[in-house]
Amino acid sequence: MTKITNSSSLLFRACCLALTVTAMTFAIRAGILSQLSSDFNLSDSQLGWVNSMAFLGFPVAMIIGGALYNQLGAKKLLITAFICHLLGLILTISANGFWGLLISTFFIGFANGAVEAGCNPLIAQTYKDNKTTMLNRFHVWFPGGIVIGAIISKLMTDAGLSWQLQIAVMLVPTAIYGVMVLKQQFPPLHKSITTSTLSNIKALSKPLFIFMVLCMTLTATTELGTQQWIDRILSASGASPMLIMAMITGVMAVGRYFAGPVIHRLNPVGVLLSSAVIATAGIYSMSIATGNAVYFAAILFALGVTYFWPTMIGFIAEYVPETGAIGLSIIGGAGMFAVSMWNPVIGQWIDNARSQALQSSSNALDAELLAGQHVLANLTIFPALLIIAFALLYFYMNKRSSIKIISANSLTE
């Protein structure tokens, strides 16, 4: 059994707090988009480019950190995350326009990716006999942190407090996890490598891995692309966007806390296919709902996207293990990179839909509602494509299992 020391417990708490900061940057940025648009006279297309920097910085840091983990270690990666979080938040507060927001948001995204790159292997090494449970408990703090950030953003916005103060709130947990990381002694790097880096790289060309990378771009955009624009899309729906954000991520936090037993008992591909169906129904329901009905549609959406991210990572670890740590970094990085590319497109959809709606309605609120519903209808395409993709994957994996069973039986005869 893995010996759990007080030091490892404190390191785990530092990792959870760092991931909470990561999630809070996501939620609070989503909550202040309207204020940024007003203060800096930014279009939704420009806001899309600002958002995209967070999702671009994440995979850049994750892939670099994953490749250099054995040389740098978790402590140096987390110190890098702390410095970039601090720098990104301060630059955001002092930003005076589009370019300032663009640069500062990239630093925040890079910090977020460095947190993942440092914490995932650290936790796996620290809790060798309990990896799945502890990694799931760690990842609870992404939706958990979004709940915290969404509630803070709503309360401060309702109180008339500036977006700069909302960003400044995150400096407190950032400073705390930074001090915890600097003071703690980290375990020595685990040097045993079962496969060479070259063999890992060669395995990246496997059709199944490439197929899952493409699917990851759709699952991540379905989940994160929708949530990041929740304020702009649902602001005129009659429901509170930040309460919806908190509710969605609250459902996800509970679901992911119990992800281990659920994923182990059910076929991973079946989970992915079911999630795609439910996510499609959830986004479509949000596109036609108004008032309190939006909350029920949002719960359906939350149930659909809860297991997307951990199950995609788990699928690669289970069925394409020869890709190693590099494969896990690329599958996660691909998802975030896709969201970075789609963010400006989603922003353009909102601008275009609003312009078209204003031509048919002189009421600005009605135009905002129609624009939001139009964009949600467009976003439904992503999980709808996943239904087809995961159905094909389901049949392929069943066929592959059948072939293995026949081969095993023939060897025993």
Average model confidence (pLDDT) across the chain: 85
Average pLDDT of the segment spanning 395-409:
69
Within this chain, domains 1-186 and 197-408 share the same CATH topology: yes
| CATH architecture designation of domain 197-408 | Up-down Bundle (1.20)
* pLDDT band for position 408 (cuts 50, 70, 90): very low
Burial class (CB in 10 A: 0-12, 13-18, 19+), 122: buried
Position 351 scores a pLDDT of 87
d(CA 51, CA 101): 9
Give the number of other Cβ atoms within 10 Å of residue 73's Cβ: 18
pLDDT on residue 260: 66
Q: Mean pLDDT across the stretch 151-176?
A: 93
- Averaged pLDDT, 329-357: 87
Higher pLDDT, 74 or 66: 74
**Helices and strands per DSSP (H, E), number in the chain:** 20, 0
Backbone φ/ψ region at 73: left (φ over 0), alpha (ψ -120 to 50), beta: left
Share of the chain above pLDDT 70, in %: 89
Q: Note the pLDDT of residue 192.
A: 46
CB 34 within 8 A of CB 232: yes
pLDDT tens-place string over residues 249-302:
889 988 888 776 776 676 788 889 999 999 999 999 999 988 889 999 999 999
Residue of 24, 9, 113 whose CA lies nearest to 61 = 113
The predicted structure's pLDDT at residue 320 = 87
| Candidate from 153-157, 337-341, 375-379, 408-412 with smallest mean pLDDT | 408-412
Top-confidence residue, 228 or 15: 15
In this predicted structure, the answer to whether residue 191 has a pLDDT above a threshold of 60 is no
For the chain, domain boundaries:
1-186, 197-408
- The 3-state secondary structure of 364-385 reads HHHHHHHHHHHHHHHHCHHHHH
Q: Which CATH number fits domain 1-186: 3.40.50.300, 3.40.50.720, 1.20.1250.20, 3.90.1570.10?
A: 1.20.1250.20
Of 148, 152, 146, nearest to 165 by C-alpha is: 152
**Poorest-pLDDT segment among 259-268, 304-313, 327-336:** 259-268
Q: What is the pLDDT of residue 1?
A: 44
Least confident of 132-136, 253-257, 282-286, 332-336: 132-136
Rounded to whole angstroms, the Cα distance separating 290 from 287 reads 9
**Chain-centre distance of CA 23, in angstroms?**
8
Q: Are 389 and 277 spatial neighbours (Cβ–Cβ below 8 Å)?
A: no
In angstroms, the CA 60 to CA 166 distance is 26
| Banded pLDDT at 156 (limits 50, 70, 90) | very high
Which token pair is 355?
Answer: 């312009």
Strands, E assignment, 134-184: none
pLDDT-derived band at 116 (thresholds 50, 70, 90) equals confident
Q: What is the pLDDT of residue 197?
A: 65
Q: Single out the residue of 133, 146, 122 nearest to residue 65, CA to CA.
A: 122
Distance CA 148, CA 267 (A): 32
Q: At what angle do helices 364-379 and 324-360 cross, to 10 degrees?
A: 150
Place of tokens 């700069």: 164
**Cβ atoms of 308 and 223 closer than 8 Å:** yes
Of residues 169 and 194, the one with the higher pLDDT is 169
Residue pointed to by tokens 């119990």: 258
Q: How far apart are the first and last CA of the chain?
A: 39
Residue 348 has pLDDT above 60, yes or no: yes
